[in-house]
């Protein structure tokens, strides 16, 4: 049991209730919100050789249009995540949720997550209601995350125009990868990554389509003559990437043209990815990817505050 899972989700009751009430019972065009319990998650981890899983709330996140409600829901899910961490010593960590784009609420929740819940990091969606992570309005949030040397796990969601783009198909198939690419490129070109050297960002799904477009974006950066403090390829090399999804046989080779193996991390995407698919993906990774020991060492270095058994 040596895997550290940086891309794992939880769906506590307050989140399931609020998301369903806000019209997200079939999130991002998927059939349903998956069932989840901490006990069953641990049982899956035991079967799949996962020592520790970093819990995060997936799409659609906690903000459904009302700042006050989003603050309350962020607090509720972060408290529930902390309960899972405490109740199962050594098995879970937590990337706390923020009520983005409510900046004041987000900064208050960062303080609560770190000072009271001992969160391991923060999870941020690629966009919330069309406000992308590179938006200048979120500058104070990134300044505070930088001050706290935060680990920031980026997770995709549906783009604001998905009705026209997804052709009625589930958005995780294409739109999640494209929105990840869109958000990270915006963070790079807007200088957010260069200006915050003490934030360690984790991009999901083996970097989505970033390896395919990295050189094109770098060329446009020269043409656009934007924020000279950031070099596109240097910024992408600095990021961390989880291997959730289907990195083999094609994506893994591509991401290793952008960064080094030390920046890669195991991710299951459970429970949105069912256990039988998690098992198949892990077998492929064991056969053709970096060793489980290498990936676990990478994640232990990135997330130094381990949860140990008493």
- How does pLDDT run across 215-257, given as a tens digit for each residue? 999 999 988 876 555 699 999 999 999 999 999 999 999 999 9
Of 169, 120, 98, 138, which is closest to residue 5 (Cα–Cα)? 120
pLDDT under 50: residue ranges of the chain: 307-310
Q: Which residue in this structure is represented by tokens 């923020």?
A: 98
Q: Residue 224 has what pLDDT?
A: 86
Burial class (CB in 10 A: 0-12, 13-18, 19+), 107: middle
Q: Smallest Cα–Cα separation from 199: which of 80, 110, 285, 128?
A: 110
The pLDDT of residue 310 is 31
Whose tokens are 């589930």? That residue is 170
pLDDT of the residue at 226: 63
| Widest distance between CA atoms in the chain | 56
For the chain, give every domain's residue range: 3-302
CATH superfamily of 3-302: Metal-dependent hydrolases (3.20.20.140)
Phi, then psi, of 250 in degrees rounded to 5 = -110, -45
HSE-CB at 268 with a 13 A cutoff on CA atoms is 31
The DSSP line for 137-151 is GGHHHHHHHHHTT-E
105 touches 99 (CB < 8 A): yes
Cβ atoms of residues 118 and 308 within 8 Å: no
Cβ atoms of residues 101 and 153 within 8 Å: no
Please tell me the distance from the alpha carbon of residue 304 to that of residue 33, in angstroms, as a whole number.
Answer: 32
């Amino acid at each position: 049991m040596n895997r550290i899972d940086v891309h794992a989700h939880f769906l506590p009751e307050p989140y399931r209730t609020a998301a369903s009430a806000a019209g997200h019972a079939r999130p991002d065009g998927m059939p349903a919100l998956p069932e989840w319990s901490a006990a069953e998650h641990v049982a899956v981890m035991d079967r799949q050789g996962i020592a520790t899983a970093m819990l995060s709330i997936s799409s659609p996140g906690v903000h459904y249009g009302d700042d006050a409600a989003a603050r309350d829901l962020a607090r509720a899910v972060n408290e529930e995540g902390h309960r899972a961490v405490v109740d199962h010593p050594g098995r879970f960590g937590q990337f706390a949720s923020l009520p983005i784009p409510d900046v004041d609420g987000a900064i208050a929740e960062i303080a609560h997550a770190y000072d009271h819940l001992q969160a391991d990091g923060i999870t941020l969606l690629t966009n919330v209601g069309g406000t992308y992570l590179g938006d200048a309005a979120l500058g104070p949030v990134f300044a505070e995350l930088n001050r706290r040397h935060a680990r920031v796990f980026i997770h995709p969601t549906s783009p604001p125009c998905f009705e026209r783009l997804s052709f009625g198909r589930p958005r995780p198939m294409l739109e999640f990868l494209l929105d990840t690419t869109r958000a990270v490129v915006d963070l790079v070109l807007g200088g957010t990554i260069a200006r915050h050297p003490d934030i360690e960002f984790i991009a999901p799904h083996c970097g989505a389509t970033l390896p395919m477009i990295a050189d094109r974006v770098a060329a446009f950066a020269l043409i656009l003559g934007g924020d000279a403090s950031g070099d596109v390829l240097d910024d992408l090399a600095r990021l961390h990437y989880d291997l959730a999804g289907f990195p083999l046989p094609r994506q893994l080779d591509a991401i290793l043209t952008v960064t080094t193996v030390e920046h890669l991390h195991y991710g299951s995407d459970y429970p949105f990815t069912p256990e039988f698919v998690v098992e198949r993906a892990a077998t492929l990774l064991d056969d053709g990817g970096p060793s489980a020991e290498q990936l676990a060492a990478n994640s232990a270095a990135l997330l130094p505050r381990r949860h140990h058994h008493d």
